[in-house]
Structure 1
Amino acid sequence: MIELVLTINDKDGSYTEHAGVVLASVFANTAHKINVHIVHDDSVSEENKLKLNQLTDSFGHNIHFYHVTVPHDLYEVASGVHKINFWTMASMYRLLLPLFIHSEKVIYLDCDILVNMDINELWSIDLGDRYLGAVIDQGQNLMEYFVSLGLSAELYFNSGVILFHLDNIRAKQTWYEEMLAFLRHFPTVTMPDQDVLNAIYSSNYLQLDLRYNTFAHSDLDLDNKIVHFAGDNKWWDSDSPAAWLYYKFLAMTPWAREVVQEQASEPEQVNIVFDPPPVQPEEAYEPPPVPEIQHVDTPPPPFQEPVILPPPLLPQFTAAAPEIVPPVLESTPVKVKPHRRKHRSSRLRRLLRLRKKLRLRRKLKLKLRRKKALRAKYRTKKRIKLIKRRYVKRRRALLAARKRLALIRRKKLHARKKAVPVKKIHRVRRTA
């Protein structure tokens, strides 16, 4: 059975939907049984959990949910990393998989991944005594950055698609301490989780073929590949070359049809709060040696059950924050004619309505999708094109609304500049 892990931090309410489309692309291309592990925090709603459960049930697979709390010592060290607020604390979840995923190996996928091949090909790769299998990173102009961290540019891999051998990692008893030491010594890392994985495991990993994690570009052949949309242009954007595939797999998910009120089966909820073994006294950090990658036919070390300690006692903050009273600004009253006042208030209402529409564009997007749909296997290309046209139409409507709002603002500014100044009257004195 294939073991698959996705980590979700759903800040804006749409990331779980993207994770569902990734799962649909995996399910549609394989006939093997899959165990899905969803690692998440408090941001994932119960409604989205239900949809993920419905999706896996419809394809005949299993799903497990893990509500994970980052250990106290890792949270303290990661909070000092400069880029942690950009990537969120949930990016540390993939570093902790050996502590609570009790399988021999597992496939990890980011949520901006398109799987357009049989995932069993990746699962069937023999790692031997290596820690993981990954594809070398395809970024450019990063040599100075790698050197500053003591990493090798020839071995640096991307963490968007990883085949973890968890038993081999658990046999490396110092992996957790090395992770903390690296983050303490290099708080200026720009990709914390990926840099940590490279610092600890790049000395003994298997370089996979490029088709298992190919960076997306405009003229890319998407057939029989796992494509990673690592840049700003994601595959759910309307101008993406893979947008038609996104809508194809979206049509297979509960996000493309009305939500079923009755729950098919209760999802297994696992709450995990753990604290790893205490860290040894801090020593001077030395980057691990970087030997050449070679295959060694030696049996893996015996599995050692990880020790899970009770949760740490976090400090309780009870002091209430002082109430901030905004200052009252005095302004000179502006004389406005009654008919002008009525006109401005109505225009202000129109502006507020336009702003409200722009803020709620995500809700409008979800409401417009709630149409009666056929089952996923009976969807046709015509239906997929219709969904795409509706999406493009909504995007154009939003752009038109923004243009109207900008035009109203320009007219208002132009009216202020065109105000007629008061002319001075010069009086002429009469002489007798």
Structure 2
Amino acid sequence: MKTIKVGMLGLGTVGTGVLQMIQNNEEKVLNVTGRQLSVKTVLVKHPENHQDVADQVRLTQEIDDIINDDEIQIVVELIGGLHPAEEYIRQALLHHKNVVTANKDLIATAGPALVKLAHENHCDLMYEASVAGGIPILRTITNSFSADKITEVKGIVNGTTNYILTQMNQQHWSYEQALHKAQELGFAEADPTNDVTGKDAAYKMVILSQFAFGTQLTTEDFSVTGIDKLAGFDVEQASQFGYVIKLVGIAKVVGDGVFVEVAPVLVSRDNPLATINNEFNAVMVTGEAVGDTLFYGPGAGGLPTANSVLSDITSVTKNLVLKTNGNLFNNYQRHYVPAEKAAVAYPYYISLTMPDIAGQMLKLTKIMTAIGASFSQIVQAKNTVNGLARVVIITHEMNEEQLREFKEKVADEPSINLTAAYKVLE
């Protein structure tokens, strides 16, 4: 029986899970592919910390031990970050080795160049685990939606922020309390910047947009807002209106363009995304034929992510057997055209502070009238602080251009301060 030798870069939580799953699922992989998988060599920084597997694999600190080994046909990159991961993957592809990675940062930034390099060297480059952990969303979009036109992909694609927001909503914790607990439980890194500023979710939306719409864009092409400035007041007020606040990534066809954004959003309790709590992820794909479909599961963690990695390894193994390596993971390509701001319309939740005196609401009404927008609901919080009233509004649909005008006019009104403006999803 032929054996496919695998080299791994990194043996952290996910790497350990991959090694465990390859060993535990040996029979099923053999049944599906006709080949056995064997992890031959693993690149680690500190071999002394992994002596529990030293009798199963070769541990090395030298990338050349994997790159120059002709027996190794698949390289699995699990070290994360941009460098030296990009250099290692390039070396592997140039040595005609197929690559599987879970590195969303790298795929979102250098993905097109690496995909081109893989194709030129007749190698596979697969990265299912780069988005939504254990949810097989990329392969589902590629295969199951190949005959349907996708009009929107939106979802909760960061488990750290979803855990924090769940605790702020359900336990009424402050942002700082919820973040600290997330770090205690391992849902947040010691430095959670990429998660809480929305950068991690933005990388994933770049990849989802590529698969759904064929567009090549970067995180510089769209607005990214995290939860690090989110006020507990707005979480509570949203709840009173019948919504929960979630960090949502949206990629949507609007007219002849595509609208992409990552930001806190008020989600109606009747919306399926409102029920996605704690560290779980969910991606809703909307097709012209099938309508809305929801994919739910753990967005991170050793074994869920390892499952997606092993799925890619199995696909590469099938291609090795059939001698079909080198095909693109995602064949859909289309020129990216940003949607017109005037065509992107949503209701908005707007939170403001203003002096608790007569005439202030009239100023606000005049601003809304001037931009051609209107209120759906308006509430003044009962308590004033230092003579300032907190006013919250749910608007009827406003487009992005109207929102820009609203912000400009409020900024010109010294007595009114805008503290939040979030989209509303019914």
Q: Same fold (TM over 0.5)?
A: no
Quick check: which one's strand share is greater?
A: 2
Q: Which has the higher contact order (CA 8 A, sep 6+)?
A: 1
Larger Rg belongs to: 1
TM-score of Structure 1 vs Structure 2, range by shorter chain? under 0.3
TM-score normalised per structure 1: 0.25
TM-score normalised per structure 2: 0.25
